Structure 1
């Protein structure tokens, strides 16, 4: 498993001057499995949405987008003695199911103490190998350290499941981890070609436009603009302590990156423009999933970005 990329970041003030690159794999809180932005069977199209749960608790950290870096690209189930374990090697097709997993520490025992960040102690992601079917879930943890993620209906294929967290005790206290395992959903898995790179996409009547031409390994700003019927959208509501949640997956290996907007949250009136500082370490196509909330409803837009 490759572990050399530096993708994740948790929010806090950067001391460096200038535009700092932030690539965050979100760590998060004990939410509910129903508090998810799962996109059942979401293909490469972007006309899907999911309802979000109200009631977010404050997170630790500084301004949105001001994050510290954490090692790992999420493509391993182990790092620094921490391990993502699960008995589940397959999941059923076409129906909601519960995926149970545990994070064990260097002592081999289940970890039960997790730091709160972006209102959650655990973020859980599912993506199919062709970068379709994106789901972002906030699982629940039992007293023994077993997490349960309510995964929406999955089409057949190979899926990678990511757990992003930060221990608040033990050897890894305060460090971001992103670990993953793969599962198989039996059935006829028809591969969906990745859409060509584009600068804009549609989601639930909203137009999302991305400006910027990032180069691999270099910090570069990205600006995301949201409009509807040709008019700027200025009613973005806070979602996970930001006005938008941006997740990226690399074509081929599904390496996972998460970027936060640097726009400060000042109320329920964000938009239409959100700025991200990105440093995508490898060239190629990245599939971006932008989640934003308006009127209590969560929308997800998908777009392919080419990194030179």
Structure 2
């Protein structure tokens, strides 16, 4: 190979490497985000929806949900001195139940000040060990700083309850936390096998398509497209300061991940394409729950994503 040919090949290789580095830095600069919604009894492949509050969410400016990034997988009830505590170790099956909990800080006192994150001060998730029954709630806090999450009907089995919050005072001010505890719902558990990985899911007549091949521990873009009857959906309504909310749980240990939206809310209608910043820490199967709103109704689509 001539000297000029070798120089050309090397220059092209350096250009490719530079572009890859720039993309990685752009993705790494993205940060976190999360109205009240629960999908009672939602199992694998279920087509469920729930009415949502008609109130519009005020814009927080910039890319929605990208100002924070929660660390960890949420599988502990303690992090950096903050602790999720609850006396509810078991709950009754087949009916609504209230789960009460508190957040204590490094000083051992109950935390009373919480910052808004995607228009809410507390996001609460419930998922059974087989990744069925997904519920996403926004609990209420009483004057004694005790939170209450009003859960819909729960099937027997082991459930994990996640609390996602950002302290607005103290040593953890401005930092996102995801803490969790397990709860037993009494009765005989009937486990549901996890559906095979797929790129599409159906819910309430809508088709959700996911594009992207995330790798464990690496930042990666993910695009979700919503269509109906083969046509692009462009009437997505703002929900929690974005046009869709995406949560993921890892098969086997129920590790939590919030996939952060990068599509900015620019008006009362959005879609069909929604971009997310994805950084899933562990390889394997992840169960994704996409929530979006049309005509004042909240829809939740679920699919399994394989992460290499």
Please indicate, yes or no, whether the TM-score normalized by the shorter chain is above 0.5: yes
Measured in 2, the distance between the counterparts of 1:219 and 1:21 equals 10
Coordinate RMSD, CA, aligned? 1.6
Measured in 2, the distance between the counterparts of 1:57 and 1:193 equals 37
Alignment of 1:99-248 (within 5 A): 99-248=99-248
| Structure 1 residue 38 corresponds to structure 2 residue 51 | no
CA separation of 1:66 and 1:134: change in aligned 2, threshold 3 A: same
Q: For the Cα contact (< 8 Å) 1:21–1:278, is it kept in 2?
A: no
Matched residue count: 285
Structure 1 regions of 5+ residues with no counterpart?
1-15, 27-34
Measured in 2, the distance between the counterparts of 1:42 and 1:296 equals 20
Measured in 1, the distance between the counterparts of 2:275 and 2:117 equals 20
Measured in 2, the distance between the counterparts of 1:120 and 1:65 equals 12
Measured in 2, the distance between the counterparts of 1:119 and 1:193 equals 35
CA separation of 1:274 and 1:59: change in aligned 2, threshold 3 A: closer
Q: TM-score, normalised by structure 2?
A: 0.89
Q: For the Cα contact (< 8 Å) 2:249–2:256, is it kept in 1?
A: yes
Cα distance per residue 1:42-78 (max 9 Å; x no partner): 1001301111112255365632252332322110001
Q: For the Cα contact (< 8 Å) 2:88–2:183, is it kept in 1?
A: yes
Give the deviation of 1:109 after TM superposition. Answer: 1.2
* 149-158 or 272-281, which deviates more: 272-281
Measured in 2, the distance between the counterparts of 1:196 and 1:117 equals 33
Structure 2 regions of 5+ residues with no counterpart?
1-23
Counterpart residue number, 2:18: none
Q: For the Cα contact (< 8 Å) 1:90–1:186, is it kept in 2?
A: yes
Q: For the Cα contact (< 8 Å) 1:23–1:257, is it kept in 2?
A: no
Measured in 2, the distance between the counterparts of 1:68 and 1:141 equals 23
Secondary structure in 1 matching 2:182: strand
Q: For the Cα contact (< 8 Å) 2:208–2:225, is it kept in 1?
A: yes
Q: For the Cα contact (< 8 Å) 1:164–1:177, is it kept in 2?
A: yes
Q: For the Cα contact (< 8 Å) 2:33–2:64, is it kept in 1?
A: no
- Bigger Rg, structure 1 or 2: 2
Give the deviation of 1:221 after TM superposition. Answer: 1.2
| Structure 1 residue 301 corresponds to structure 2 residue 301 | yes
Measured in 2, the distance between the counterparts of 1:236 and 1:195 equals 27
Measured in 2, the distance between the counterparts of 1:64 and 1:41 equals 29
Match of 2:26 among 4, 18, 28: 18
Q: For the Cα contact (< 8 Å) 2:259–2:279, is it kept in 1?
A: no
Q: For the Cα contact (< 8 Å) 1:84–1:102, is it kept in 2?
A: yes
Cα distance per residue 1:71-102 (max 9 Å; x no partner): 22110001111111111000110101111100
Q: For the Cα contact (< 8 Å) 2:125–2:136, is it kept in 1?
A: yes
